[in-house]
C-alpha cells in the first residue's frame, strides 16, 4: 500500500518504519556501548602491559 488511496480515517504505514528505525538505532547504541566497554577495558590493560614490560627489564 502506497498511501495514495487511503480513507481519511486510515493511518499511513509509518509506525512500522519508525519501529524499524528505533530498533536499528537501539542496535547501534548497543554496539557503541560494547565498543565503549571494550575501550574501557583496553586502557587499563595497556597500562598494565607497559608496567609489565618495564618491570621485565626489556
Domain holding 49, by residue range, is: 27-58
In a domain, 54, yes or no: yes
* Statement: residue 58 has pLDDT above 60: no
In a domain, 12, yes or no: no
Task: List pLDDT tens digits, range 24-53.
Answer: 888 999 999 999 999 888 888 888 888 988
Q: How many domains are contained in the chain?
A: 1
* Statement: residue 3 has pLDDT above 60: no
In a domain, 51, yes or no: yes
In a domain, 52, yes or no: yes
In a domain, 13, yes or no: no
- Collapsing DSSP to helix, strand or coil, 11 comes out as coil
List Cβ neighbours of 6 (8 Å cut-off, separation of 6 or more): 12
Residue in the structure block whose three cell numbers are 608496567 = 51
In a domain, 1, yes or no: no
In a domain, 8, yes or no: no
* Statement: residue 19 has pLDDT above 90: no
Amino acid at each position: 500500500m502506497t498511501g495514495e488511496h487511503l480513507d481519511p480515517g486510515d493511518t499511513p504505514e509509518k509506525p512500522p518504519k519508525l519501529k524499524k528505525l528505533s530498533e536499528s538505532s537501539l542496535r547501534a547504541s548497543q554496539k557503541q556501548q560494547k565498543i565503549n566497554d571494550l575501550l574501557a577495558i583496553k586502557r587499563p590493560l595497556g597500562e598494565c602491559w607497559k608496567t609489565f614490560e618495564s618491570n621485565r627489564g626489556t
